[in-house]
Amino acid sequence: MSSIEDRFVELHPESKPLAEKAMGLFADGVTHERRSMSPYPVYMERGVGPRKWDVDGNEYIDYKTGHGSMILGQAHPAIVEAVQSQMAKGTHLSSGTRLEVEWAEAVIRLVPSVEKLRFVASGTEALMMAFKMARVFSGKEKIVKFAGAFHGWSDPAYVTDTETDREYGIPRGTSETVINTPAHDLDALDEILVGRDDVAAVVFQANDIAPPEFIEGLRELTTSHGVLLIFDEVVSGFRWSNAGCQGRYGVSPDLSTFAKILAGGLPGGCVGGRADVVDTVGEGGIRHPGTFNANPLSAAAGKAALGIVERDPIVETADKQADRLKAGINKVLQSMEIPGGAYGVSSIAMVSLGTPVDIDDPHAVPAGVEQGGRPVSTEVLDKLQLAIINEGLWTHPASMILSASHSDADIDATVSAYEAGLHAVRAAGLI
């Protein structure tokens, strides 16, 4: 093992036996593919604000933030109080509750394009329901998505190409209902929409780093062709702005999907938008059961979280701290003469290592890197991830998701720790 791995093992002795047990319990030894790592995963114990502690007592500044759901930070007192209070009243009442009504009202106040909505239990389910609504409303079957975009793990969302689809267990019939088109290419999309009359909707991953003119053009193009536009706001919702990507750029989609921040860090999602499209669900239309739809605990957490987002400058604070972090990392990269840079929109900081990027343009991406791609080798990123974990950062080195709970001191400590990780990787001869 390298010195980076040696230190990792030394710091995480209690995680190792848990990882060994997990290999016999879970496929691939983990419960989410992004939690897999070598030599073994780290197991967390608790979190407060921007910090987390693992089973060995190691402290981290957290930049995975519940896969983006914790814009308020871990264990926010208002969320804890709301969930604890509801827990004592019942976790599942097998009926509608006052909370779900108030939760929905908060969404509609924050997102002007949402006239009606339907709650589900996850972002993946929200996209599944949005596709159904679009197909039933339009009477058409095809969904167009942009290559490289992620819309959850349902079969239609994963359609890529024939060979890959079969590997993922996606039936041929499902593959035939989805069309992939190049990212950020309105001409290619226009060619598809001109050439066929069976497209129900175009779906856009709203946390994609796309130029504003593309997002505006996407709305104009779908409108001109009479095709529904779905914004996948699972990540960007209540983060890009209080109304998500659509609020940041002033574009109104026909349907939007939300999760993560929506439910205050608990399981929950929704699809909302034009009332006439959402009303395809219900008696005589799309059937939609779901044991945990708008469950009281998620509703309590979601209502509390959105209330804070609505009242306080949460988005603005997280954005400001992301700008401070990007500036600090860019200064480190320049001083170490490492090509690349920290970039990105809103409160998610992306880092390119080895491939130049225009750090003055928040909508720029590294040259030659497709949506969802990474500009350096997996080996370098894996080693750097271990190195910065050793330094007390809980994050992927190429993607850091901030919360409003990160302080200036947290950001400055992060920049120092990231620099130390880069020096460790350089000492190993990898960068």
Domain 77-311 annotated CATH 3.40.640.10: yes
**Between vectors from CA 74 to CA 68 and to CA 76, what angle results, nearest 5°?**
115
d(Cα 137, Cα 347) in Å, to the nearest integer?
A: 35
Cα separation, 117 vs 128, in Å, equals 14
Q: Which residues of the chain have pLDDT under 50?
A: none
Q: What count of other Cβ atoms lies within 10 Å of the Cβ of residue 80?
A: 13
The reported pLDDT for the residue numbered 365 is 81
* One-character DSSP codes across 159-198: ---HHHHHHTT--HHHHTTEEEE-TT-HHHHHHHHHH-S-
Nearest to 305 by CA among 112, 81, 117, 119: 81
DSSP-derived letter for residue 370 is P
Give exposure, 160-186, as e/b (b: 16+ Cβ within 10 Å).
beeeebeeeebeeeebebbbebebbee
For residue 233, what are the CA distances in angstroms to 40, 190, 269, 373? 32, 23, 10, 20
* pLDDT of the residue at 163: 78
> Three-class SS of residue 145?
strand
* Of the options 1.10.10.10, 3.90.1150.10, 3.10.110.10, 1.10.260.40, the CATH number for the domain spanning 3-74+313-427: 3.90.1150.10
- Report yes or no: 399 and 350 within 8 Å, Cβ to Cβ: yes
* Among 243, 254, 262, 273, CA closest to 114: 273
Residue range(s) in the chain whose domain bears CATH number 3.90.1150.10 = 3-74+313-427
Tens digits of residue pLDDT in 333-364: 999 999 999 999 999 999 999 888 999 988 88
DSSP, res 25: T
Tokens of 122: 């996850």
CATH 3.40.640.10 domain extents, the chain? 77-311
What is the DSSP pairing of strand 255-258 with strand 51-54? unpaired
What residues contact residue 10 under an 8 Å CB cut-off, 6+ apart? none
Closest CA relative to residue 348, chosen from 314, 318, 316, 390: 318
Q: How are strands ordered across the β-sheet holding 399-401?
A: 340-343, 348-353, 399-401
Residue type, 61: I
Predicted local confidence at residue 374, as pLDDT: 55
pLDDT of residue 431: 84
